[in-house]
Structure 1
């Protein structure tokens, strides 16, 4: 594949959905593009605003929260894994609404609570805590969500 073909394919790829540098680099490597040409293509895509780290981080954070029901810890970890700068990541996480964030954690806790088998409040709360923490919610948010889901009958206070 020539440089021009790769440039057009990469631009088309970035036009379809938001992607980060790591995603596009992976595609370019898969297409057999040399590292020097990869850098030129990535620079062009950034200059022409096909690639935008802030836009990608915002879209990623909102989509993973809304559709995958991930918490901020997990979203932060995934954005770091994709090479997004810490400042950009934190800005994207701040854009998530706190009320809907707690509401989503509570909604997940209620749904999980209906499926749980437990012998006492400690076991129940431990299972809910581990579940929500695994989804990437912070401990303070998890405690509030458990409190709301259980109607205040909480063992982990």
Structure 2
């Protein structure tokens, strides 16, 4: 299938709409640009335009990504950070945006996932249930220390 050719302005508009539909990062916009036959100068000009007009904003992208992955997908910080790094977001920016997750929400989420998952583990010793649940929470990107603190609280409550 041959690539349909668009004018520079049509491509620019397509990329504006791509950014308006949902916050994007640089890497996603550059990936999208590969669909069009553009010379480097044209790519740079479009990126600059998107930045100048605030269609492309890496911090806004990072903040909305963190909120979505935590509050909707229930991912922990490690998994969120790993996925953002794959999108070429700097560690510094990622860390400065983690204030989107309230600490007490984070602990409540660990406790909730812990209780939900743990209650589904049938016919296991308590320690097996615990280690299986810790593994599960870590696979969702929660930090071992955080999980452990939550465990100590839940065993203190019982």
Taking structure 2 as the reference length, the TM-score comes to 0.89
Of 113, 122, 140, 2:145 maps to: 140
Match of 1:17 in 2: 22
Structure 2: distance between partners of 1:32 and 1:152? 62
- Structure 1 residue 35: Cα displacement: 3.5
Query: Residue 128 of structure 1 contacts residue 146 of structure 1 at CA under 8 Å; is this kept in 2?
Result: no
Of 38, 59, 62, 1:57 maps to: 62
- Structure 1 residue 78: Cα displacement: 0.8
Structure 1: distance between partners of 2:144 and 2:100? 20
- Structure 1 residue 57: Cα displacement: 0.5
Q: Which shows bigger deviation, 85-94 or 29-38?
A: 29-38
Q: 2:106 matched to 1:106?
A: no
Structure 2: 5+ residue runs without aligned partners? 1-5
Match of 2:88 in 1: 83
Structure 1: distance between partners of 2:37 and 2:105? 44
Count of paired positions: 153
Structure 2: distance between partners of 1:128 and 1:108? 9
- Structure 1 residue 118: Cα displacement: 4.7
Q: 2:87 matched to 1:69?
A: no
Secondary structure (helix, strand or coil) at the match of 1:146 reads: helix
Q: CA RMSD in A?
A: 1.7
Structure 1: 5+ residue runs without aligned partners? none
Secondary structure (helix, strand or coil) at the match of 1:87 reads: helix
Taking structure 1 as the reference length, the TM-score comes to 0.89
Match of 1:26 in 2: 31
Q: Which shows bigger deviation, 1-10 or 126-135?
A: 1-10
Match of 1:7 in 2: 12
